[in-house]
Chain A
Amino acid sequence: MAKMTMREAVSQALWEEMERDERVFIQGEEVGVWGGTYAVTKGFYDHFGAKRVRDTPIAEAAIVGSAIGAALTGLRPVAELMTINFAFVAMDHIVNEAAKLHYMFAGQFKLPLVIRAVSGGGRQLAATHSQTPDAIFAHFPGLKVVSPGTPADAKGLLKSAIRSDDPVLFIENATLYQTRGEVPEGEDVLEELGKSKVQREGDDVTIVAYSKMVQAALDAADRLSEDGIEAEVVDIRSLRPLDMGPVIKSFKRTNRAVVAEEGWRSYGVGSEVAARIYEMAFDFVDAPVKRVAQAEVPLPYNADLEQLALPQTEDIYHAAKEIIYG
Chain B
Amino acid sequence: MAELVTMPKLGFDMAEGTLVRWVKAEGDSVQKGDVIAEIETDKATVEVETSHAGVMYRHLVEEDTTLPVNAPIAVIAEEGEEPSQDEIDSLVSEAGGEPSKKEEKPEQEPEEKAPKAQETEGKTREAPTETEEKAAETGKEPGISPAGGVRSSPLARRMAEDKEIDLEEVEGSGPQGRIVKKDIQAYLESMKAKGREEEAEAVGEALQPLTAFTVGEVPEDEIVKMSRLRQAIGRRMQDSNQNFPHFYLTREYDTGALMSLRKDLNQLLPEEQKLSVNDFVVKAVALALRQYPNLNASIEDKAHIRRHGSVNIGVAVAVEGGLLTVVVKDADQKPVRLIAREVREMAQRARDGKVRNEDIQGSTFSISNLGMYGIDNFAAIINPPEAGILAISAVQKMPVVVGDELRIGSRMKATISADHRVTDGAEAAEFMKVLANYLEEPMRLLL
Q: Which residues of A contact B (CB under 8 A)?
A: 255, 265, 282-288, 295-297, 308-309, 325-326
| Residues in B89-146 with C-beta less than 8 Å from chain A | 123, 125-127, 129-130, 137
Query: Assuming A325-B175, A325-B180, what are 12 further A-B pairs, CB within 8 angstroms?
Result: A265-B130, A283-B155, A283-B158, A285-B153, A286-B155, A287-B153, A288-B137, A295-B125, A296-B129, A297-B127, A309-B125, A325-B182
Contact mask for chain B residues 162-186; partner A; CB cutoff 8 A; 1 contact, 0 none: 0000000000011100001110000
Give bound CA distance, A265 to B130, whole Å.
10
User: Using Cβ atoms and an 8 Å threshold, which residues of chain B touch A286?
Assistant: 153-156, 180-181
Q: A283-B155, A286-B155, A325-B173 are in contact. Are A255 and B181 (CB under 8 A)?
A: yes
Residues A295 and B155 in contact, CB atoms below 8 Å apart: no
Residues A283 and B154 in contact, CB atoms below 8 Å apart: yes
Residues A296 and B130 in contact, CB atoms below 8 Å apart: yes
Give bound CA distance, A283 to B174, whole Å.
17
Query: What is the chain A residue whose CB lies nearest that of B181?
Result: A286
Query: What is the chain B residue whose CB lies nearest that of A288?
Result: B137
User: Using Cβ atoms and an 8 Å threshold, which residues of chain B touch A325?
Assistant: 173-175, 180, 182
Give bound CA distance, A286 to B126, whole Å.
25
User: Using Cβ atoms and an 8 Å threshold, which residues of chain A touch B130?
Assistant: 265, 296
Give bound CA distance, A288 to B133, whole Å.
12
Give bound CA distance, A309 to B130, whole Å.
14
Give bound CA distance, A308 to B174, whole Å.
29
User: Using Cβ atoms and an 8 Å threshold, which residues of chain B touch A255?
Assistant: 153, 155, 181
Query: What is the chain A residue whose CB lies nearest that of B130?
Result: A296
User: Using Cβ atoms and an 8 Å threshold, which residues of chain A touch B153?
Assistant: 255, 285-287
Q: Which residues of B contact A (CB under 8 A)?
A: 123, 125-127, 129-130, 137, 153-156, 158, 173-175, 180-182
Chain B nearest CB: distance from A322 CB in Å? Answer: 8
Please indicate which of the listed interface residues B130, B153, B158, B173 has the most CB atoms of chain A within 10 Å of its own CB: B153
User: Using Cβ atoms and an 8 Å threshold, which residues of chain B touch A284?
Assistant: 154-155, 158
Give bound CA distance, A185 to B182, whole Å.
45
A-B contact pairs, 28 of them (CB 8 A): A255-B153, A255-B155, A255-B181, A265-B130, A282-B154, A283-B154, A285-B153, A285-B154, A285-B155, A286-B154, A286-B155, A286-B156, A287-B153, A287-B174, A288-B137, A295-B125, A295-B126, A295-B127, A296-B126, A296-B129, A297-B125, A297-B127, A308-B125, A309-B125, A325-B173, A325-B174, A325-B175, A325-B182
Give bound CA distance, A128 to B444, whole Å.
94
Query: What is the chain B residue whose CB lies nearest that of A325?
Result: B174
Please indicate which of the listed interface residues A265, A284, A288, A325 has the most CB atoms of chain B within 10 Å of its own CB: A325
Give bound CA distance, A295 to B129, whole Å.
11
User: Using Cβ atoms and an 8 Å threshold, which residues of chain A touch B182?
Assistant: 325
Give bound CA distance, A295 to B126, whole Å.
6
User: Using Cβ atoms and an 8 Å threshold, which residues of chain A touch B173?
Assistant: 325-326
User: Using Cβ atoms and an 8 Å threshold, which residues of chain B touch A295?
Assistant: 125-127
User: Using Cβ atoms and an 8 Å threshold, which residues of chain B touch A288?
Assistant: 137
Chain B nearest CB: distance from A319 CB in Å? Answer: 10
Chain A nearest CB: distance from B116 CB in Å? Answer: 13
Chain A nearest CB: distance from B396 CB in Å? Answer: 48
User: Using Cβ atoms and an 8 Å threshold, which residues of chain A touch B156?
Assistant: 286
User: Using Cβ atoms and an 8 Å threshold, which residues of chain A touch B154?
Assistant: 282-286
User: Using Cβ atoms and an 8 Å threshold, which residues of chain B touch A283?
Assistant: 154-155, 158
Chain B nearest CB: distance from A325 CB in Å? Answer: 5
User: Using Cβ atoms and an 8 Å threshold, which residues of chain B touch A308?
Assistant: 123, 125
Give bound CA distance, A309 to B123, whole Å.
10
Give bound CA distance, A287 to B183, whole Å.
13
Chain A nearest CB: distance from B271 CB in Å? Answer: 32
User: Using Cβ atoms and an 8 Å threshold, which residues of chain A touch B174?
Assistant: 287, 325
Give bound CA distance, A85 to B292, whole Å.
98
Give bound CA distance, A288 to B129, whole Å.
18
Give bound CA distance, A284 to B181, whole Å.
9
Query: What is the chain A residue whose CB lies nearest that of B122?
Result: A318
Give bound CA distance, A188 to B248, whole Å.
96
Chain B nearest CB: distance from A158 CB in Å? Answer: 34
Chain A nearest CB: distance from B128 CB in Å? Answer: 9
Chain B nearest CB: distance from A287 CB in Å? Answer: 6
User: Using Cβ atoms and an 8 Å threshold, which residues of chain B touch A287?
Assistant: 153, 174, 180
Give bound CA distance, A297 to B129, whole Å.
12
Chain A nearest CB: distance from B291 CB in Å? Answer: 61
Chain B nearest CB: distance from A278 CB in Å? Answer: 9
User: Using Cβ atoms and an 8 Å threshold, which residues of chain A touch B126?
Assistant: 295-296
Give bound CA distance, A124 to B386, whole Å.
91
Give bound CA distance, A308 to B156, whole Å.
36
User: Using Cβ atoms and an 8 Å threshold, which residues of chain A touch B180?
Assistant: 286-287, 325
Give bound CA distance, A187 to B419, whole Å.
101
User: Using Cβ atoms and an 8 Å threshold, which residues of chain A touch B181?
Assistant: 255, 286
User: Using Cβ atoms and an 8 Å threshold, which residues of chain B touch A265?
Assistant: 130
Chain B nearest CB: distance from A202 CB in Å? Answer: 16
Give bound CA distance, A284 to B180, whole Å.
11
Give bound CA distance, A260 to B173, whole Å.
26
Chain B nearest CB: distance from A1 CB in Å? Answer: 40
Please indicate which of the listed interface residues B125, B156, B158 has the most CB atoms of chain A within 10 Å of its own CB: B125
User: Using Cβ atoms and an 8 Å threshold, which residues of chain B touch A285?
Assistant: 153-155
Give bound CA distance, A288 to B153, whole Å.
9
Chain B nearest CB: distance from A216 CB in Å? Answer: 16
Query: What is the chain A residue whose CB lies nearest that of B173?
Result: A325
Identify B127's interface contact among A282, A296, A326, CB under 8 A.
Answer: A296
Query: What is the chain A residue whose CB lies nearest that of B157?
Result: A283
Give bound CA distance, A285 to B158, whole Å.
10
Give bound CA distance, A35 to B137, whole Å.
51
Please indicate which of the listed interface residues A283, A286, A287, A326 has the most CB atoms of chain B within 10 Å of its own CB: A286
Query: What is the chain B residue whose CB lies nearest that of A319?
Result: B122
Chain A nearest CB: distance from B370 CB in Å? Answer: 41
